Amino acid sequence: MKKQVKNNVYWVGKVDWELRTFHGYEYSTHKGSTYNSYLIQEEKTVLIDTVWQPFAKEFVKNLSKEIDLKKIDYIIANHAEIDHSGALPELMRLIPDTPIYCTERGIKSLKGHYHEDWNFIPVKTGQTLDIGNGKELIFIEAPMLHWPDSMFCYMTKDNILFSNDAFGQHYATEDLFNDLVDREELFIEATKYYANILTPFSMLVKKKIEEFASLNLPLDIICTSHGVIWRDNPMQIVEQYLKWADNYLENQISLIYDTMWKGTKRMAESIAAGIKLSNPEIRIKLFPAATTDKNDIVTEIFKSKAILVGSPTINKGFLSSIAGLMEEIRGLNLKKKKAAAFGTYGWSGESVPMITALLKEAKFEIMSEGIKAEWNPNDTAIQECIEFGQEIGRLLLD
């Protein structure tokens, strides 16, 4: 059933309470998600985005109960990724000639996904579409937020920005609006979404927000493509994005480690104790990488001013959970964060220099060449870890 957003604008999407992973198995969705599609019923009828392919039939069936599908004048595809375009094949079988407005790259991407030559109308920033009743849609290209084809559109008079993935959250809710949900939960999911999906493009986030601001368009509502609609002070999430995009950090250090026989774990705990001694104010968090959700770790790294990464040496390298995480970190393009490595070893001890090299490659500022402990750390080694922690703590004093 459609839900009213404002005046003649309705939500016609799908709430997916069961979703637990997204992008295949790349992104954990502890709170499910929503695929937000919007129906505008002015003099012209406009559909903005659809839903993920598994819900295509349900979506089209529900939509056809609300309107005669043949009455849809325009489809806007703000983004070609399958979670928003997935119902297009089902829909276009019924209304094959309906124009689909999207970016040039959107056309390429939609053709790449579905191998269909629908009635595409390419649009660029600043182009408008008259939807009647004195209202129009203004298109704003948003390349790499977060795909090359991404686009926003803005509805005049009702002052609604349809931002697609930007400002979204993987957060299932029946309540639709930001003022009706648990604020703490909402911001946990919004932070995780930004940290894991938008961090690599922070520079572009800032520029796009500045570009939108320069258009001087009043903003009453932000209709995202996942999670809640921001109707209560929508600028709060825009301002939060500006903070996140500006080399965000909190007074936090995260120690991320894996361990075989608990030696590297004891190192982590001892280093943490040392940090606390010299820097009582800093928030310290420890994460066993093999058993902690990797997207939650990425979120904590995003919030941290520094990270310590630990692994014992194995096969002249380090453990695979840490290797996977280092690849995640490399792609995030984080800036102005500090790091060091630690780990136990028996013979050769490559893990610490190898992790340090990867941290460096990921543009972390290396605070120390790291610390190794031979075999199961003895009392001397534990004391050295505490002193190492104290030194790290001192380096991170505000």
Task: Decide whether 229 or 322 has the Cβ nearer to ligand FEO.
Answer: 229
Q: How far is the CB of 12 from ligand FEO (least distance, A)?
A: 16
Q: How far is the CB of 328 from ligand FEO (least distance, A)?
A: 18
CB of 53 to ligand FEO, least distance (A): 12
- What is the nearest approach in angstroms of ligand FEO to the Cβ of residue 192? 14
- Look up 30 and say whether it is catalytic: no
Please confirm, yes or no, whether 83 is among the known catalytic residues: yes
Let me know if 49 is a catalytic residue.
no
Confirm whether 146 is a catalytic residue: yes
Alpha carbon 49 to chain centroid, angstroms: 19
Q: Residues 16, 49, 83, 189: which is the catalytic one?
A: 83
Question: Applying CB under 6 A, which residues contact ligand FEO?
Answer: 79, 81, 83-84, 146-147, 165, 225-226
Closest CA to 255 of 193, 355, 342: 342
Q: How far is the CB of 83 from ligand FEO (least distance, A)?
A: 4
Please give the residue whose beta carbon sits closest to ligand FEO in the complex.
Answer: 81
Q: Considering 10, 35, 79, 154, which one is annotated as catalytic?
A: 79
CB of 216 to ligand FEO, least distance (A): 28
**3-state SS string over the chain?**
CCEEEECCEEECCEEECCCCEECCCCEECCCCEEECCEEEECCCEEEECCCCHHHHHHHHHHHHHHCCHHHCCEEECCCCCHHHHCCHHHHHHHCCCCCEEECHHHHHHHHHHHCCCCCEEECCCCCEEEEECCEEEEEEECCCCCCCCCEEEEECCCCEEEEECCCCCCCCCCCCEHHHCCHHHHHHHHHHHHHHHHHHHHHHHHHHHHHHHHCCCCCCEEEECCCCEECCCCHHHHHHHHHHHCCCCCCEEEEEECCCCCHHHHHHHHHHHHHHHHCCCCEEEEEECCCCCHHHHHHHHHHCCEEEEECCCECCECCHHHHHHHHHHHHHCCCCCEEEEEEEECCCCCHHHHHHHHHHHCCCEECCCCEEEECCCCHHHHHHHHHHHHHHHHHCCC
Of 38, 193, 194, 345, catalytic = 193
Q: Which is nearer to ligand FEO, 193 or 364 (CB)?
A: 193
Name which of 34 and 351 has its Cβ closer to ligand FEO. 34
100 or 256: CB nearest ligand FEO:
100
Active site residue 193: yes
Q: Which is nearer to ligand FEO, 136 or 149 (CB)?
A: 149
Does the annotation mark 113 as catalytic? no
- From the list 42, 165, 258, 269, the catalytic residue is 165
Nearer to ligand FEO, 226 or 231 (CB): 226
Catalytic positions, written as ranges? 23, 79, 81, 83, 146, 165, 193, 226
